[in-house]
Structure 1
Amino acid sequence: MTDFLQVGIRKEINHTLKSQGLIKPTPIQEKTIPLVLEGKDIIAQAQTGTGKTLAFVLPILERIDVSKSDIQALILTPTRELAQQISKEVKKMIENLDDLNVLAVYGGQDVEHQLKKLKGAQHIVVATPGRLLDHIRRGTIDLSTVQMLVLDEADQMLHMGFLPEVEDILYETLSTRQTMLFSATMPNEIKSLAKKYMQSPELVQIKAKTITVDEITQIVIETTDRRKQATLMHILQEERPFLAIIFCRTKIRAKKLQEALISNGYDSDELHGDLTQAKREKAMKKFREAKIQFLVATDVAARGLDVEGVTHVFNYDIPQDVESYVHRIGRTGRAGGKGIAYTLVAPKDMDFLRMIEKGVHQSLEKRVIKGISVPDKEGYEKERKDEIRKSRRFSSTSKNNNKSTEGAKRNKNERRKSKTGSQQRRTR
């Protein structure tokens, strides 16, 4: 049996791992750590829950030279929550290491506090793109000494529109840096990014753990969009979850549902990008301590969300890809426990449902709640046709709007590229 010492991790860190019950590396850790220690560029495809954070954190810690006060490793993440989670993980691992420092840099923090910390030795920086660029423009952070760069949740980073920011940050680093890219999926944008900025990268692919799906009871409730709210309230009353996360597609829908839950007497809070960092942290603290029963969240805000005791997950809006579905329902059934995931499906969502069933290799149990999730047969058919018609109208309008904005986007990209090209880039 391979242990952490055999893959190149020193005794001090191995002792810390053992104290946390981590004895054997996960597949992603076993394959990735030796390659990173050799200094190779890495493209790792792995889902949440496979142990990918330690797959890059552990070898980075091995290669940091504490005699130098420069920033030697940079870890980029799409969200504040993920930046916080990774920095906490690093701090756990350096308990038995002297003089090794890590700093989290993300929006919502006090800038002056960050500036004060940046004046000291910071060997590892975990950051979101926006706040990091803010420091670069202020001249308060220098990335020219970065030897190891990690892009974590790279697909989410690009999905959120961070590609220009990521490229601007890459231009600030040495071309000889070691680059590690971790992503759940491999869209063409990821491949283009790798081809442009990485040197002969090694590809590591780990299949998603089926345990997160197998140990969770998955139920589909057939309904219509206008009946979703009443349907959810009915299920909450029947199921009485201990702790539950309710996923919505957009911030607006999360806000609206949160207001409805509060007005119906439920102890709940919301988690999405429109909230200040202080409010997000407050909501998470209350949920972790079970002071509230429900958390209404969007996908982006819930990246890296890991709370013990979550008994139920509700997909108020169906996820539009398999990875997001697995990530969402994986918030319950943690640590070998059982969990329940309900997905509310409107007629316009059927293509997404079929895609999810194909992705998880099973047909999900389907139910209707007569008089609640669906009306009588004739009424349901009318609502179904109305929603499909509305969905098609919206899709057609969106396509026209996209065409009208393509020229503007091209001009914006050309201006940005021209501006960036005129700047002197570090290519040491």
Structure 2
Amino acid sequence: MPRPEEASTSKSVSPLPEPPATFKSLGLIDPLLEALDRVGYKKPTDIQLQSLPHALEGRDIIGIAATGSGKTAAFALPILQKLWEEPKGLFACVLAPTRELAYQISEQFEALGSAMGVRCAVIIGGMDMPTQQIALAKRPHIVIGTPGRLLDHLETTKGFSLRTLKFLVLDEADRLLNMEFSEAIDKILKLLPKERSTYLFSATMTTKVAKLQRASLTNPLKVEVSSKYSTVDTLLQYYVLMPFIDKHAYFIYLVHTLAQNSIIVFARTKAEAQMLSIILRILGFAAVPIHGDMSQSQRLGALSKFKSGSRKILVATDVASRGLDIPSVDIVINYDVPQHSKDYIHRVGRTARAGRSGKSITLVSQYDVELLLRIEEVVGKKMDMFETEAEDIAALKERVEEAARAAKSEMKDADANGKGKKRRRDDGRGGKDDRDRDDDVVEAGMPLVKKKSKHRR
């Protein structure tokens, strides 16, 4: 028998757990670490953990990750680190499917690259070409754009080319291809140097994305954080079952009940989003719309008001369901049940981001039950019923119907005025450039309803 002290020394000692990875341990330089601290990024997300070390080594990356996973920093950080080492001219080009996403990517590059004075140029439709040509002449380090407008500049702007490019990023690649930018992207790829690093980020790996990968990447490393669509655990998901005829009344009841929160409301069509925003304003709620029939300045203005808190409600089409990072969204209301379950996941992904909690509430009429069941099957979770008060909703009906009639009248007048102005402006130049469908939008110019209801909420 061994002595007690001998027995104790013979026990195996468990190894100490490895410390959690940090941005520093991933190999980032001090200027970037300081910038990350300033913008409040405390620890790497899964997509950043898996992609950054390889991107810093010079590998091409395919990143498959859901919305809100930190993809922008995953490709911006290795680009900025290389730019610090070789600060030469036009360095990187990022292609994005929507104008809002392009602006958001630019903001993140400028925030993370503040210590090195990084210069970005956003090249999108809906803005005048000469102003963009001036921005390109100032030799930006990073160009972020939508494919159609970027190709316009490559073909017509003297002195602008991508021949010295070191990095190409295709962000939200599945959306880029679904929006039929394929032809413009093919032409852009032919104008790029073969010796470059390429990052392709997408929420899904479709056959089109796989084809694009083969055409543009060299021996890429595939990083897949989420292989299936899902919602985060911190999101509380509810539904409201109601008769279709009372949909407006139920909607206003929800907004009134949740009025102290920041809310994004998703509608299926541009007209519906505009209509809901007018109804809300008539009834005294601080709401602003965002949809494809608004000019670029109107859309940016709407986002700015919502982000700053001067408007508590953003009424949007699916133009805002992906890519936009609005940190302080408490609640998502699906006024219309989305036709596709993936769209539901992108919509509710606007809340409960980066570990925060949030709620989603979906209005379900007798015609939407099958869609709701399909969504529940895809996300693998049953939604709870949101408690409503039938008497309160009945009391709202008359006021809400009156507001809806006023909103319809206002939209009809605005549409007639808009068509008259368009006829006077028309000089026979023709329609949109098909390469840039999302960019070239007609300004709706719908005035706000000034008349407020005398009834109190």
Tell me how far apart the structure 1 counterparts of residues 274 and 389 of structure 2 sit (CA, whole Å): 27
Q: Which residue of 1 aligns with 2:52?
A: 33
Q: Which residue of 1 aligns with 2:247?
A: 228
Q: Deviations over 1:132-173 (max 9, x none)?
A: 122122134312222211111111222222222222222221
**Contact kept in structure 2, 1:245 and 1:296, CA below 8 Å:** yes
Q: Which residue of 1 aligns with 2:225?
A: 206
Q: Give 2:312's match in structure 1, choosing from 281, 286, 293.
A: 293
Q: Deviations over 1:199-236 (max 9, x none)?
A: 23221000289996322221111235443222211222
1:136-215 superposed matches below 5 A = 136-140=154-158, 141-207=160-226, 213-215=232-234
What's the CA shift for 1:20? 3.2
Other structure's SS at 1:317 match: coil
**Contact kept in structure 2, 1:273 and 1:301, CA below 8 Å:** no
Q: Which residue of 1 aligns with 2:323?
A: 304
Q: Which residue of 2 aligns with 1:4?
A: 23
Q: In the superposition, relative to structure 1, how do residues 337 and 51 fare at CA in structure 2: closer, same or farther (>3 Å)?
A: closer
Other structure's SS at 1:131 match: helix
What's the CA shift for 1:367? 5.5
Q: Give 2:136's match in structure 1, choosing from 118, 133, 141.
A: 118
Other structure's SS at 2:201 match: strand
Q: Give 1:251's match in structure 2, choosing from 261, 270, 281.
A: 270
Q: Give 2:78's match in structure 1, choosing from 59, 80, 84.
A: 59
Q: In the superposition, relative to structure 1, how do residues 337 and 200 fare at CA in structure 2: closer, same or farther (>3 Å)?
A: closer
Q: In the superposition, relative to structure 1, how do residues 269 and 253 fare at CA in structure 2: closer, same or farther (>3 Å)?
A: same
Q: In the superposition, relative to structure 1, how do residues 240 and 146 fare at CA in structure 2: closer, same or farther (>3 Å)?
A: same
Tell me how far apart the structure 1 counterparts of residues 274 and 331 of structure 2 sit (CA, whole Å): 20
The amino acid across from 1:138 in the alignment is: T
The amino acid across from 1:173 in the alignment is: L
Other structure's SS at 1:96 match: helix
Q: In the superposition, relative to structure 1, how do residues 177 and 287 fare at CA in structure 2: closer, same or farther (>3 Å)?
A: same
Alignment pair present for 1:101 and 2:119: yes
Q: In the superposition, relative to structure 1, how do residues 267 and 8 fare at CA in structure 2: closer, same or farther (>3 Å)?
A: same
Q: Which runs of no fewer than 5 residues in structure 1 stay unpaired?
A: 376-415, 417-428
Which runs of structure 1 show a deviation greater than 4 angstroms over 4 or more consecutive aligned residues?
65-69, 208-212, 334-337, 367-375
What's the CA shift for 1:320? 3.4
Q: Which residue of 2 aligns with 1:413?
A: none
**Contact kept in structure 2, 1:77 and 1:153, CA below 8 Å:** yes
Q: Deviations over 1:266-310 (max 9, x none)?
A: 321110111111111211122122222211101123433333443
Question: Equivalent pairs: percent with the same residue?
Answer: 38
Provide the TM-score with structure 2 as the length reference: 0.74
**Contact kept in structure 2, 1:27 and 1:206, CA below 8 Å:** yes
Tell me how far apart the structure 2 counterparts of residues 306 and 114 of structure 1 sit (CA, whole Å): 25
Q: In the superposition, relative to structure 1, how do residues 292 and 12 fare at CA in structure 2: closer, same or farther (>3 Å)?
A: closer
The amino acid across from 1:184 in the alignment is: A
Q: In the superposition, relative to structure 1, how do residues 167 and 61 fare at CA in structure 2: closer, same or farther (>3 Å)?
A: same
1:234-273 superposed matches below 5 A = 234-273=253-292
Which sits farther off after the overlay, 306-315 or 269-278?
A: 306-315
What's the CA shift for 1:35? 2.0
Provide the TM-score with structure 1 as the length reference: 0.79
**Contact kept in structure 1, 2:264 and 2:332, CA below 8 Å:** yes
1:359-370 superposed matches below 5 A = 359-366=378-385
What's the CA shift for 1:33? 1.5
Q: In the superposition, relative to structure 1, how do residues 110 and 59 fare at CA in structure 2: closer, same or farther (>3 Å)?
A: same
Q: Which residue of 2 aligns with 1:355?
A: 374
Q: In the superposition, relative to structure 1, how do residues 255 and 372 fare at CA in structure 2: closer, same or farther (>3 Å)?
A: farther
Q: In the superposition, relative to structure 1, how do residues 18 and 325 fare at CA in structure 2: closer, same or farther (>3 Å)?
A: same
What's the CA shift for 1:86? 1.0
Tell me how far apart the structure 1 counterparts of residues 164 and 73 of structure 2 sit (CA, whole Å): 23
Tell me how far apart the structure 1 counterparts of residues 295 and 357 of structure 2 sit (CA, whole Å): 33
Other structure's SS at 2:193 match: coil
Tell me how far apart the structure 1 counterparts of residues 119 and 59 of structure 2 sit (CA, whole Å): 24
**Contact kept in structure 1, 2:321 and 2:346, CA below 8 Å:** no
Q: In the superposition, relative to structure 1, how do residues 68 and 307 fare at CA in structure 2: closer, same or farther (>3 Å)?
A: closer
Other structure's SS at 2:288 match: strand
Tell me how far apart the structure 2 counterparts of residues 211 and 322 of structure 1 sit (CA, whole Å): 10
Alignment pair present for 1:83 and 2:102: yes
Q: In the superposition, relative to structure 1, how do residues 235 and 101 fare at CA in structure 2: closer, same or farther (>3 Å)?
A: closer
The amino acid across from 1:279 in the alignment is: Q
Tell me how far apart the structure 2 counterparts of residues 293 and 6 of structure 1 sit (CA, whole Å): 40
Tell me how far apart the structure 1 counterparts of residues 392 and 319 of structure 2 sit (CA, whole Å): 28
Alignment pair present for 1:314 and 2:333: yes
What's the CA shift for 1:248? 1.1
Q: In the superposition, relative to structure 1, how do residues 14 and 171 fare at CA in structure 2: closer, same or farther (>3 Å)?
A: same
Q: Deviations over 1:105-132 (max 9, x none)?
A: 2223343332222112222111112221
Q: Give 2:302's match in structure 1, choosing from 274, 283, 288.
A: 283
Q: Give 2:235's match in structure 1, choosing from 216, 224, 244.
A: 216
**Contact kept in structure 1, 2:39 and 2:111, CA below 8 Å:** no
The amino acid across from 1:51 in the alignment is: G
Q: Which residue of 2 aligns with 1:332?
A: 351
What's the CA shift for 1:6? 2.9
Q: In the superposition, relative to structure 1, how do residues 226 and 150 fare at CA in structure 2: closer, same or farther (>3 Å)?
A: farther
Q: Which residue of 1 aligns with 2:397?
A: none
**Contact kept in structure 2, 1:69 and 1:122, CA below 8 Å:** no
What's the CA shift for 1:181? 0.9
1:407-426 superposed matches below 5 A = none
Higher Rg of the two aligned structures: 2
**Contact kept in structure 2, 1:50 and 1:208, CA below 8 Å:** no
Tell me how far apart the structure 2 counterparts of residues 96 and 370 of structure 1 sit (CA, whole Å): 54
Give the RMSD, CA atoms, in angstroms.
2.9
